[in-house]
Amino acid sequence: MKIRFLNGLHARVYEAIFRRLAQRRPPHAEPIHLGPSSRVLLFTCAGIGDTLTDSVVFKALAETFPGIHLAGVVHKRRRALLEHNPLVREIFTIEKGPFAFLRLHRQLKAAGPWDAIIHLRGNDPEPRCQSFLLNPDVTVSIPSMTQLSWLCGHNLPQPDWSDTHGVLQTLRITDYLSAKTAAPTLIYEVKPQESAALEAKLPALGIGSGSRLVFQIGGGRRASWRDWPTQRWAELVALALSELGDARIILLSGRDNLDRSHDLLEKLRQLTGQPNPPVHNLVGQLNLTESAALLASSRAVVSTDTGIMHLSFAVGARVVALIHCNNPSHRVGPYGYGDRHRVVQLSRPENYRSPADADMAMITAETVLTNLKEIWLDKNNKL
């Protein structure tokens, strides 16, 4: 609660200061003409899933203008996402606080000038304020994707925002800049040394060779309505142990889901009658780069609407995505991957008003297993 209050206070201070500055020097849209020698700064300052979705913009710009210099600004905790995008030439990290703001401004100004500044997804005011100080006349944004649109010279409203997939939302920015990609897939390249390091680490955790089946058992603290109950996860694990005998089942998530993993395993013991079911609990034990390497080596992944779901798309794993009706699959599900994935969408009840009106428990383990079998037994599965 205290952090939320402080973040809100900071946002109001930034808005007050920069509204005054924008009144004195309003942004004016200056024509943007990009080419192979252009330098473009892209702010992608949201969560894992949104940052990965933004990667299609880098792809479209790089394919349309070979040789273009693409620099990214990302939250410090998400830096690895840009480090694993080979199209990004330069990376800057954004943090809270006035001293961090001034330090980043000096870095961005020294690295410029910029022919275009693009705002992708972001939940904080600092990115818009940074671009205003650099050059508001060549900034491009979709108001629905960030804040303080009046600091931006080129705003692209999207009245059909709620009915548009996240990939298409971001690609409308590149359409505006005359950039295209024939294959709008997410970008995250696992490095060979990372795969080797993971394979060296897993035996000590009890995981040997074999077909890996990863269950991403929860998201973060925000939007917990997207999570699938631990009872349903336990039921799915029990079914998978029975019907997918060659699967090495791995539980994955962050440290904030440790309690969920313990609850899941206790329920699994009750369902199977086994004191030690053959399940590997890696919840809280892998960082982002290790998780990406694990996903890339897996035969299939089951996940709710989390950053790990999008990371699985990006590294080429086959996914069964469990999606809440509040943020339906036509907006957040797999895009442009053919039939590699399956979506299990929670039905939207009549008189729906908020996420609390629809319970993810209505998705059964049997339904998920049916979809999982389709990709697990697919003869074209890469593994």
pLDDT tens track for 315-345: 999 999 999 999 899 999 998 887 899 999 9
Q: In the prediction, which pLDDT does 383 show?
A: 44
DSSP helix/strand/coil, 99: helix
Interval 107-166: pLDDT, tens = 999 999 999 999 999 878 999 999 999 999 999 999 877 778 889 999 998 888 888 999
Please give the structure tokens belonging to residue 274.
């086994």
Can you tell me the distance from the alpha carbon of 256 to that of 220, in angstroms, rounded to the nearest whole number? 7
Residue pair 145/121 in contact by the 8 Å Cβ criterion: yes
Domain 17-176: CATH superfamily, name plus number: Glycogen Phosphorylase B; (3.40.50.2000)
Quote the pLDDT of residue 245. 84
Give CA–CA dist 345/324, Å, rounded. Answer: 6
304 bridge partner residues: 322
Per-residue pLDDT, 126 = 93
pLDDT of 1 higher than 90 = no
253-257: long-range contacts at Cβ-Cβ below 8 A with a sequence spacing of 24 or more? 253/216, 253/217, 253/218, 253/219, 253/283, 253/284, 253/308, 254/220, 254/283, 254/284, 255/283, 255/284, 256/218, 256/220, 256/221, 257/217, 257/218, 257/283, 257/284
- Partners of 39 in beta bridges: 69
Put simply, whether the predicted model's pTM sits higher than 0.85 gets the answer yes
Q: Measured between alpha carbons, how far is 264 from 291 in angstroms, rounded to an integer?
A: 20
* Identity of residue 4: R
pLDDT given for residue 42 in this prediction = 98
Alpha-carbon Rg for the chain in angstroms: 22
pLDDT at 7: 58
Instruction: Give the number of other Cβ atoms within 10 Å of residue 215's Cβ.
Output: 26
Average of per-residue pLDDT values in the chain:
93
pLDDT in tens, 214-254: 999 998 777 789 999 999 999 999 999 999 988 999 999 99
Confidence of residue 5 (pLDDT cuts 50, 70, 90): very low
| pLDDT recorded at residue 162 | 82
Domain extent listing, the chain: 17-176, 192-376
Cα–Cα dist 210/184, whole Å? 31
Q: How far apart are CA 335 and CA 345, in angstroms?
A: 15
Residues of the chain with pLDDT > 90, as a percent, come to 82
Nearest Cα neighbor of 114 from 34, 26, 27 is 34
Compute the distance between CA of residue 169 and CA of residue 192 in angstroms, rounded to an integer. Answer: 32
Domains 17-176 and 192-376 share a fold: yes
- Topology of domain 192-376, CATH: Rossmann fold (3.40.50)
